[in-house]
Amino acid sequence: MSIVREAVPGDCPQILEMIQELADYEKEPDAVHNTVADLQEHLFGPNPQVFAHVAEDESGELKGMALWFLTYSTWEGRHGIHLEDLYVREAQRGSGTGTALLRTLAQFCVQRGYRRLEWSVLDWNEPAIKFYDAIGAGSMDGWTTRRLDGEALHALGTRGAN
């Protein structure tokens, strides 16, 4: 059984391990540039803008994580949560850990009056899609995720700069 709690600074090394495991699973093993120091700064610095919950076993080993940040819906006029990463270690999958992490975030939303809990899933990740369907998470058909990064981000960000 996993216990879900807010992350603490000492969790950062295990969180980074799980981020790398997720990158490996998503076939992007070289994509992680994050560090323990980055996580400590962004999760626990003076003005954190990203947050984390973790699931641990009785021994204190982390079995899963949820990294998230606040969003704002102009239509709802309320905040929501964007779940950046939900990850459960392979040996723990199917044990209820993912559900426990999502339930904790859903409770967080309800308690604070947030109207949405949203995330993305890779279209080839059938086990995750089936899990999300099973808990009642609907697909946002008709929406396409877009990203501006790398050279394109730099070009737009410096165009017309003085």
- Cβ atoms of 66 and 52 closer than 8 Å: yes
User: Which of 25, 72, 114, 132 is flagged as catalytic?
Assistant: 132
Examine the residue annotation and report whether 132 is marked as an active-site residue of this protein.
yes
What string of DSSP letters covers 102-138? HHHHHHHHHHHT---EEE---TT-HHHHHHHHHTTPP
Q: What is the rounded end-to-end Cα distance, in angstroms, of the chain? A: 57
Dihedral angle at the C-alpha atoms of 16, 63, 100, 10, nearest 10 degrees? Answer: -50
Active site residues: 132
